[in-house]
Amino acid sequence: MNPIIGWGLAAIGVAAAWQAYGWQGVVMAVSVIVFWLLIQFSRALRVMKNAGESPVGHIGSTVMLNAKLREGLTMMQVVAMARSLGRQVDPQADTWAWADDGGSEVTLEFKRGKLVKWTLVRPTPASP
């Protein structure tokens, strides 16, 4: 969700709680907002903990990751799927890559925090 929309909805919720229940409503609305933020923080920590247990830029199967990718995913969602932090290919273009043991590599490009395109490169098989 867009942060501006999220904070706008939170402000509307606090205002509606004030109108309906006074200061008790504001306390409840702020409690709900803080609880939501704690859930999001906990989720981010869990994803990073799982990703920290794997080598950077390594994944079990790039083909499986490639099959799960879709436009608009955030980096947090991709890291959760890959269970590994990506290797940064180009910081200016916000390009990241993951490789597997078979030599395949999937390269992802993000714009404004969202996945816009990705490519899967598989090694050519050796001719007999």
Largest CA distance in the chain: 79
Instruction: Copy the structure tokens of residue 25.
Output: 């409503």
- Tell whether the torsion through CA atoms of 11, 13, 16 and 18 is positive or negative: negative
* pLDDT value for 128: 67
- Averaged over 66-76, what is the pLDDT? 93
The domain spans of the chain are 3-51, 56-121
DSSP class of residue 83?
T
Query: pTM of the entire structure?
Result: 0.78
- Averaged over 59-69, what is the pLDDT? 92
- Which of 3.30.1450.10, 3.20.20.120, 3.90.550.10, 1.10.10.10 would CATH assign to domain 56-121? 3.30.1450.10
Does the structure show a pLDDT above 90 at 45? Answer: yes
> CB–CB of 121/104 below 8 Å?
yes
Provide DSSP, 72-113. Answer: T-BHHHHHHHHTSPPEEEETTTTEEEEE-TTS-EEEEEEETT
> CB–CB of 26/18 below 8 Å?
yes
d(CA 15, CA 86): 42
Q: Calculate helix-pair angle for 75-82, 23-52, nearest 10 degrees.
A: 50
